[in-house]
Structure 1
Amino acid sequence: MINKMNNKIALQFFPQEKLFWLYHFAAYGLFTLFQSVNFYLREMFFGYNMLATAIMVPIFTFTVLLFRWVYKTRRWHELAMGKQMGLVLLSAFIMSIIVVLLLSITTLPFYWHDLFNEKIGKMAGFSSPMQGFLQFFVSNVIAQAFICGLWGYMYIGVSYSRRARQAELDVLRLENSLKEAQLISLSNQLNPHFLFNSLNNIRFLIHENPDQADDMVTAFSEILRYSLTQGKQEKVKLAQELEIVQRYIEIVSVQLEHRLDFQLTKPNGHGVDEYVLPPMTLQLLVENAIKHGVDNIRQASTLNVDISLVENQIFIQVVNPVLPHTNNIESTGTGLANIRQRLKLLYADNAELMTQLQDNQFTARLTLPAEK
């Protein structure tokens, strides 16, 4: 069985992008430089503040990475921007309290006497060591909340910009994929072998059965029109796709005659025909089944298309026979790869195309969200 296309990358707590770390430490380095100059000029607790600044690096980094992890896993980016900004503000205060608590636990025991002795306390205006500690704690929480909030707002701003660029890129990729599917479909219908046989059959039927010849011309024109027009849409109704598949079967049945037995199974009711799928998806699967399967077999062959609806998913299965000793039917064309690409762009990881080659039977199983 061919492994399903799955480009999903597991979220890692520590980002792998070098650019992230470059920006993070560059910004923190500038902040540290500003703090150092400020403490040196004021000549207040320079040793303690430099130690605290050094210890802050891993504490602050861990805290903002925790925010990033929550932001992504909770999918806050899907919320309205106003809610995102509110959550960033709340997170900033929570992070600042955590940072200052950890900082106090790791540093104050070594500097308590120096920071809050009576002489220095009076100089700083503290009536007691506890007042000094509370003032130290509150002022640092406010300062860290500002820093964490600034980091958070910059992060969601950069994330929004990157998602916007990715969305534009996905739209371009989807348009290119639709054009590619359109070209593949037209190539299948206009390749010399198919075109020659179709025209030859029409010429023959003009004399033997004019009505059937007229139907073949109509079916052929509908297929070409569908390939040219529907390829501009992201999704079409299943009824439209099935109709064009039936037209295609009508044409190839004249050529294959008794060698093709086409079987379509779908549930009655449930409005299944109203559900949508990417255009030319089922059509390409059927064309692939005939071109690389049924057309190569001399005896009668059955091509099965089975459509089922289970809860909020649609399953479309196309099964066709292949010649014995066939190793990999996927390597013979680009139609299946094109379908997978469009599924990824339209549905992310919520749709898939899986294939299986077993006992001289090739199965293509398409799974889609049930959308109308």
Structure 2
Amino acid sequence: MHVQLRPIEAYKLLVCALGDGKASHFLFNTLNNLYGTALTGDADRTAAGIEQLSGVMRHMVEESKRDRTPIAKEIRFLEDTVDLHRMRLPRQENIRVKSVMEWDEQPTPDGRSVEIAPLLLVSFIENAFKYGISINEPCFVETRLTVEEGVLRFSCSNSVLMHNRLEASTGTGIDNIRQRLQLLYAGKHSLEVGEQEGVFSVELTMTL
């Protein structure tokens, strides 16, 4: 099967231009996975993956220029991000990924459209997959997001792997999110982060 890879090469250049090391790592890994899928002749899965990757990259580039983005767009972005991570993983019983994201499709109590600061939550998901997944150990990532009457509730939990514990404990990414939350949602959010019995968890509630 002949696969046109020119668009993928263009995406690589775009990622380099973004200058985001974490995003680059994730996207390059996804591109390599899609390339491997293409070589197996699975055209449908390759096409679906490229479409999702295109949407993720478009969102990262376009929405990062804005102060707020519609909640529906951000949820779709987060769902696609989880799906792309899931696509990269081998289908093994010891690896469990679960994600539920829901929105009541209602405006805020004061009648505003529901919007959120773009790319605010994705780092929690990136960290969960980076530090919580191994092909050699039982592991999991679970995410849940609900938006009801303008209030967002987000939880993300993952297994804590011993060989990742030291690096994960530095908390740089979490600290950056704390700073953004304090800047953008001061007095309108609560964030709890912790580890207990081998599970790292994040609980965030915020009024949009």
Report TM bin, short chain: 0.7 to 0.9
Write out per-residue CA displacement over residues 111-144 of structure 1, whole angstroms, 9 at most, x where no aligned residue. Answer: xxxxxxxxxxxxxxxxxxxxxxxxxxxxxxxxxx
Query: What SS class does the counterpart of residue 257 from structure 1 fall into?
Result: coil
Flag the 1:226–1:310 CA change in 2: closer, same or farther, 3 A.
closer
8 Å CA contact 2:132–2:141 kept in 1: the answer is no
Distance in 1 of aligned mates of 2:71 and 2:123: 14
* Counterpart for residue 275 of structure 1: 114
Matched, 1:362 2:200: yes
* Counterpart for residue 306 of structure 1: 144
8 Å CA contact 1:330–1:336 kept in 2: the answer is no
* 2:97 paired residue among 249, 261, 269: 261
Distance in 1 of aligned mates of 2:202 and 2:34: 31
Write out per-residue CA displacement over residues 245-293 of structure 1, whole angstroms, 9 at most, x where no aligned residue. Answer: 2222222222213324222153656569x63222112211111111121
* 2:131 paired residue among 292, 295, 299: 292
8 Å CA contact 2:106–2:148 kept in 1: the answer is no
* Letter matched to residue 67 of structure 2: E
Distance in 1 of aligned mates of 2:104 and 2:90: 29
Distance in 2 of aligned mates of 1:237 and 1:262: 24
Query: What SS class does the counterpart of residue 302 from structure 1 fall into?
Result: strand
8 Å CA contact 2:103–2:148 kept in 1: the answer is no
* 2:32 paired residue among 185, 200, 204: 200
Query: What SS class does the counterpart of residue 121 from structure 2 fall into?
Result: helix
Distance in 1 of aligned mates of 2:23 and 2:86: 14
Matched, 1:348 2:186: yes
1:11-90 correspondence to structure 2 within 5 Å: none
TM-score when normalising by structure 1:
0.43
* Counterpart for residue 70 of structure 2: 237
How far the C-alpha of 1:347 sits from its partner, in A, is 2.0
* Letter matched to residue 209 of structure 1: D
Distance in 2 of aligned mates of 1:264 and 1:302: 14
The unaligned stretches of length 5 or more in structure 2 are 1-17
* Counterpart for residue 57 of structure 2: 224
How far the C-alpha of 1:225 sits from its partner, in A, is 1.7
Write out per-residue CA displacement over residues 5-63 of structure 1, whole angstroms, 9 at most, x where no aligned residue. Answer: xxxxxxxxxxxxxxxxxxxxxxxxxxxxxxxxxxxxxxxxxxxxxxxxxxxxxxxxxxx
8 Å CA contact 1:307–1:314 kept in 2: the answer is yes
Distance in 1 of aligned mates of 2:203 and 2:23: 23
* Letter matched to residue 198 of structure 1: T
8 Å CA contact 1:308–1:315 kept in 2: the answer is yes
TM-score when normalising by structure 2:
0.73
* Bigger radius of gyration: 1
> Identity across aligned pairs (percent)?
25
Query: What SS class does the counterpart of residue 203 from structure 2 fall into?
Result: strand
8 Å CA contact 1:340–1:352 kept in 2: the answer is no
The unaligned stretches of length 5 or more in structure 1 are 1-182
Query: What SS class does the counterpart of residue 32 from structure 2 fall into?
Result: helix
Distance in 1 of aligned mates of 2:43 and 2:144: 33
Distance in 2 of aligned mates of 1:317 and 1:356: 12
How far the C-alpha of 1:363 sits from its partner, in A, is 0.8
8 Å CA contact 1:206–1:213 kept in 2: the answer is yes
Which structure has more strand as a fraction of its residues? 2
Flag the 1:310–1:211 CA change in 2: closer, same or farther, 3 A.
closer
Report the count of equivalent residues: 182
Flag the 1:251–1:312 CA change in 2: closer, same or farther, 3 A.
closer
Matched, 1:190 2:29: no
